[in-house]
Structure 1
Amino acid sequence: MKGQHIPSMFTMGNLLLGVFALVLALDQEYIQGGFMVLLAGVMDYFDGKVARKLQVSSEFGKELDSLADLVSFGVAPAILAYALKLSEWGYWGLAISLTFVMCGALRLARFNVTTFSGSFMGVPITVAGGIVALMVIGMGKLPDLTLPVVMLFLAWLMISKIKVPKF
């Protein structure tokens, strides 16, 4: 099938941007790391769109996309948030970051084993990770409690049974 690997190139771009965000967190470049998460979101948007347009959607692509999403919208935002602010909370901050990642993984696993019915069950990890990235970018303007409270709320929303329409 011609073009079957093109969507995976976008997915790999998503993954690489997520890893780049992690490297930027290590270098204490938090705002740039937040922007890499947002750029990963652009790549994630296009991988699915291109796969549907080329009619090359596959189980392989779905699984690869979930792995990339866990890194880019679960691990990277959690580490950025931890390195920037949550580390000040000690083990509580670490627990918040780990909770966010675990709930994101559970959300992706549930998505992969359910049939899509026009709406998502729980907030997609891409949305939750994007919100955390935006908060990291604007952290200087937010009260101290905002980040941990919002991250816990987003973690809960990801594993909730709330129906979220696909846009």
Structure 2
Amino acid sequence: MKKHIPNILTLLNLLCGTIAVILAVTGRTEIAALFVFLGIFFDFFDGFAARKLQVQSDMGLQLDSLADMVTSGVVPGIVMYHLLQLSLDPGSWGQGISIDLSAPTGFIPFLGLLIPLASAYRLAKFNIDDDQQTSFTGLPTPANTLFILSLPLILAYQANDITVSVIRNTWVLVFITFVSCYMLNARVKLFALKFKSRGFRENAVKYIFLVLCVLLLAIMRFAAIPVIILLYVIVSLLTNSRSISH
């Protein structure tokens, strides 16, 4: 029975992602974000459960990526489509997906769908790369998803003149889309939050990062998420450069 526990958690991730897709398509992006966060929670613990129960399998690896493709690939693409649509038509927020190719800029929201493509490529590479057991090459899809899903949450619950002007700017969103696709597949080593032991010395970077995450979330709430993802990349790069120098 225990060998099925990780796969059940993975399927719960997929269930949350599927619900999030329906919600995102109908314009309820804030509730979709809640199910994505829940799906990412299951995604973290399916691997943790597999390691603790010593029931890792090739099937579990493939199933995990298939679930991630929905929760952390399709959903952020739909949300970015909505954000780009909002930047072109401020009255469209909260409504279902609409397609207007009659306008010269009608194709722009479709750029958001580059994110699922980049996510699929990243997940496929991960499955055949044996060097990503203790670290990641490129930004993990859940981290990228958290970044993108934080944007509508900031608009909904922490809107001010600055955040609205930035997040509703079409070219800022296009820039985020392209950077997102690049970072998913960049040849950049990023540390993984996997603990082989509880010792502080060998896990100092991870412990300090987690403490900073908690503090930032307590102070900045949803606005902390993009900062945390950026901090994650910066800390990884600094850690890598320090390792090379030694």
What TM-score does the superposition give when structure 2 sets the normalisation length? 0.63
1:75-154 equivalences under 5 Å are: 75-83=74-82, 85-87=83-85, 88=88, 90-95=106-111, 97-115=112-130, 116-140=132-156, 141=159, 142=163, 143=166, 144-145=168-169, 146-154=172-180
Taking the aligned partners of 1:100 and 1:90, their CA distance within structure 2 comes to 18
User: Given that residues 15 and 40 in structure 1 are in contact (C-alpha distance below 8 angstroms), is that contact kept between their aligned partners in structure 2?
Assistant: yes
CA distance in 2, matches of 1:111, 1:118: 12
- Give yes or no for contact 1:35–1:133 (8 Å, CA) kept in 2: no
Q: Match of 2:224?
A: none
For 1:128-155, what per-residue CA distance to the aligned partner results, in whole angstroms no more than 9, with x for missing partners? 0111111122135332234332232111
Q: Secondary structure at the match of 2:81?
A: helix
- Point out the structure with max Rg over C-alpha: 2
| Match in the other structure for 2:44 | 45
- Structure 2 distance, partners of 1:77, 1:135, is 10
Q: Any unmatched runs of 5+ in structure 1? A: none
Residue by residue over 1:61-113, the C-alpha shift from the partner in whole angstroms, topping out at 9 and shown as x without a partner, is 00000010010011011112213x22335212212x22111111111011001
1:156 deviation in Å?
Answer: 0.7
CA-CA distance at 1:9 after TM superposition:
0.8
Contact preservation (8 Å) 2:138, 2:186? yes
8 A contact 1:34–1:80 mirrored in 2:
no
User: Identity of paired residues, percent?
Assistant: 32
Aligned pair count reads: 164
Matches within 5 A, 1:27-66: 27-66=26-65
- Supply the AA of the counterpart residue of 1:147: L
Partner SS for 1:164: strand
Q: Residue 117 of structure 1: CA displacement?
A: 4.9
Gaps of 5+ in 2: 89-104, 194-246
Residue identity opposite 1:98 in structure 2: L
How far apart in 2 are the matches of 1:120 and 1:109?
13
Residues 17, 72 of structure 1: 8 Å contact kept = yes
- Specify the SS of the correspondent of 1:57: coil
- Measure the CA separation in 1 of the matches of 2:185 and 2:107: 23
Q: SS of the counterpart of 1:5?
A: helix
SS in 1 for 2:3: coil
Tell me which stretches of 4 or more aligned residues in structure 1 moved more than 6 Å. Answer: none
CA distance in 1, matches of 2:190, 2:81: 27
1:86 maps to amino acid: L
Whether contact under 8 Å (1:107, 1:158) holds in the other structure is yes
1:39–1:130: structure 2 CA closer, same or farther, 3 Å change rule?
A: same
* 1:159 correspondence with 2:185: yes
Q: 1: CA distance between counterparts of 2:76 and 2:154?
A: 13
Residue 18 (structure 1) aligns with? 17
Q: Which amino acid aligns with 2:31?
A: Q
Letter matched to residue 70 of structure 2 = V
